[in-house]
Structure 1
Amino acid sequence: MRASRLVSLLLLLQTRGRMTAQELADALEVSVRTIYRDVESLSAAGVPVYGEPGHEGGYQLLDGYRTRLTGLSAAEAEAVFLTGLPAAATSLGLAAVASARLKLTAALPAELRDRASRIAERFHLDTPPWYQGAEHTPHLAAIADATWNQHAVRIRYLRWAQPHEITRTVQPHGLVLKGGHWYLVARGDGQFRTYRVSRVLDADVLTGRFDRAEGFDLASHWTSYLSRFDQCRHRDTAVVRLSRRGLDRLPHLLEPVMVDAARRTATEPDAAGWTRVAVPIESVDVAATELLKLGADAEVLAPDDLREQIIRTVHEMNRVYGGRPASPHPRADP
């Protein structure tokens, strides 16, 4: 266990450069005192690691030192290939991923090479949603390159609000692949915004580098963004009666935020087995489309305009189908 930790410590210093004892302790999930002992052990073994005191100090390896460690465990070799996403990498313009995987495969011992190859044979990532093709993102590679090299980008963007077409100069801080769609997280005018890459009409990468926002963490930012997005999107609440069958069908027909709200607010079933719930809705039009999926297993009680729209839709459907009850054995007219 300790030998593995020493190797991990060495590789952290090699890949990240200078790190404080606290940063190393957090990364390896040990105490700072343990890091002190491990650094002494590495130094005693001839590894040129040294520390500098002070606020800007930390541990680092002597310039130019590189370890030639090549020992991957079976689980590590499999994990490397499982995390490889060739399709997504190619979209980002990282065509070297395929050649890098080939070189890594060739460097592995025969046994590990076979185990790693089986990963690619048995697991495949298909990011686009069902019944949808991949989005057209002609500017993704250029934006990805600008994100990596910290270059600002002047984008011409098509949005829903008026004016629909806008031009902005932004500092790209990250790209996110969500549900088959690429999103750019970028800073402009002192605040972060999210842009759907497929709606970027033009992208002009500018010269000169910008400084990333200090402490910016893409994963944390994205999680917060999704939470804020749901709160802003769902501005109203609908009260709905659900049959037992309707309650069971919720997870298969409605989005998770509505299902979670329904479960939290569900009342005790009445004598007929119907339950009253409150669910967040984006708008009357969107909510009507969503709740009609439940058919006769749901009755909207409020708001009134949503209930009226559901009623109008049902009446219109009744006219379309001639107002006749369905026949159990429909036959064509002679």
Structure 2
Amino acid sequence: MKSSRLVSILLLLQSRGRMTAAQLAGELEVSVRTVYRDVEALAAAGVPLYGDAGHAGGYRLLDGWRTRLTGMTTGEAEALFLAAVPGAAAELGLGSLLAAAQHKVEAALPPELRAHSARIKSRFHLDAHGWYADADEVPYLTDVAHAVWNRRVLRVRYRRWKEPTEVDRRLEPYGLVLKAGRWYVVSGPRPVTYRVDQMLRLDVTDEEFEAPEEFDLAGYWRRYQEDFQDRLHSGTALVRVTDAGAARLTGRQAAACAQNGRPDGEGWTRTELPVESTAFAVGEFLRLGAEVEVLGPPELRAEMARVVRELGVRYGDCG
């Protein structure tokens, strides 16, 4: 660990020029005292590194001196593919490898490209996690990732929504997917998707498997999402919606309104929208308040009326 940190200090100073001990400590996630000791070790090893005191001080390498220690390890090269999602890399236990790989790539760039990469980093950030929810506890994520990478069969105790709620499964983990802050594992031989946070017990076996060469994780996930949406929105509702209500529609409902909506001459748009169950659709339309009127099917309109009447009784004496 220390040798890796010493190399990181060299690469940081080589790519960024003068840096204070506090800045180095922040980059490496160690104490300032640790940086002092590491700098002393580098100087003792003959690295032409010196420090300046004062407000504009810091450590720097002798002008013109460069290290050739920019070759990435296998783990660092693998972690670099998660550079766009640093939080995911950390969850998979690859955070330090990713940081080391980025330092090495940065040090190998010519000054003009190095400045360009720093500008991109300062202006764009990708956060894959969703709003309004705490991150899921995923205690077995690292084990699942290990099994995916090493092609090892998993034996898991899994919690699902229907009876029996707890089942035992044998998984051949083809790949991991991070969607809106939630981890999924795609398992063979007939591709099935499981939520990693719903695994109650897990054993990584010594049994190996081979995924089909033609299996495409990204392609599978795209088709899975399309099928999921088709199954989810199996019904339709006929509604009238104001411009303000239409602007608050999202996903397939927004697309359906834009494609099929027709003005009704009274300042409203009449359209058919895809919906899930009646209960779920009621909740979706209630959030639009008076900006929507459900015209059909009859059971959905009746349920909307019942809920609105109940709300009227509950809040009737608030005026």
Please give the TM-score of this superposition, normalised by the length of structure 1.
0.67
| Residue of structure 2 aligned with 1:264, choices 246, 259, 263 | 259
Tell me, which stretches of 5 or more residues in structure 2 are unaligned?
A: 1-67, 71-79
Structure 1, residues 257-304: CA drift from partner, whole Å, max 9, x if none?
A: 11112223223x223122221111110111000011111111111122
Instruction: Give the deviation of 1:210 after TM superposition.
Output: 0.5
**Is 1:196 paired with 2:203?**
no
**Aligned equivalent of 2:30:** none
> Which amino acid is 1:132 matched to?
A
Instruction: Give the deviation of 1:323 after TM superposition.
Output: 4.8
**Aligned equivalent of 2:141:** 140
> Which amino acid is 2:229 matched to?
D
- Distance in 2, matches of 1:259 and 1:239, equals 14
Instruction: Give the deviation of 1:83 after TM superposition.
Output: 4.1
**Aligned equivalent of 2:282:** 288
> Which amino acid is 2:142 matched to?
A
> Which amino acid is 1:319 matched to?
V
| Pair 1:247–1:122, CA change in 2 (3 A) | closer
**Aligned equivalent of 2:215:** 216
Superposed, 1:1-334 pairs within 5 Å as 83-95=83-95, 96-187=97-188, 190-250=189-249, 255-267=250-262, 269-323=263-317, 325=319
Q: CA RMSD in A?
A: 2.2
Structure 1, residues 133-191: CA drift from partner, whole Å, max 9, x if none?
A: 2221111111011111111111111111111111101111111111111111111xx41
> Which amino acid is 2:86 matched to?
P
Please give the TM-score of this superposition, normalised by the length of structure 2.
0.70
Tell me, which stretches of 5 or more residues in structure 1 are unaligned?
A: 1-67, 71-79, 326-334
What count of residue pairs does the alignment treat as equivalent?
Answer: 241
**Aligned equivalent of 2:56:** none
> Which amino acid is 1:92 matched to?
L
C-alpha contact (below 8 Å) 2:253/2:273 kept by paired residues: yes
Instruction: Give the deviation of 1:125 after TM superposition.
Output: 2.2
> Which amino acid is 1:182 matched to?
W
C-alpha contact (below 8 Å) 1:239/1:278 kept by paired residues: yes
- Distance in 1, matches of 2:315 and 2:106, equals 62
- Distance in 2, matches of 1:115 and 1:82, equals 20
- Distance in 1, matches of 2:225 and 2:169, equals 23
Instruction: Give the deviation of 1:208 after TM superposition.
Output: 2.8
C-alpha contact (below 8 Å) 2:82/2:88 kept by paired residues: no
> Which amino acid is 2:166 matched to?
E
- Distance in 2, matches of 1:264 and 1:124, equals 33
> Which amino acid is 2:245 matched to?
G
SS at match of 1:131: coil
> Which amino acid is 1:208 matched to?
E
- Distance in 1, matches of 2:86 and 2:243, equals 45
> Which amino acid is 2:243 matched to?
R
C-alpha contact (below 8 Å) 1:155/1:203 kept by paired residues: yes
Structure 1, residues 211-247: CA drift from partner, whole Å, max 9, x if none?
A: 1123000111111001111111112111111123322
- Distance in 2, matches of 1:227 and 1:179, equals 16
Structure 1, residues 34-88: CA drift from partner, whole Å, max 9, x if none?
A: xxxxxxxxxxxxxxxxxxxxxxxxxxxxxxxxxx9x9xxxxxxxxx899443221
| Pair 1:196–1:127, CA change in 2 (3 A) | same
- Distance in 2, matches of 1:287 and 1:236, equals 10
SS at match of 2:286: helix
- Distance in 2, matches of 1:238 and 1:313, equals 17
C-alpha contact (below 8 Å) 2:155/2:170 kept by paired residues: yes
Deviates more, 1:216-225 or 1:96-105: 96-105
- Distance in 1, matches of 2:82 and 2:185, equals 25
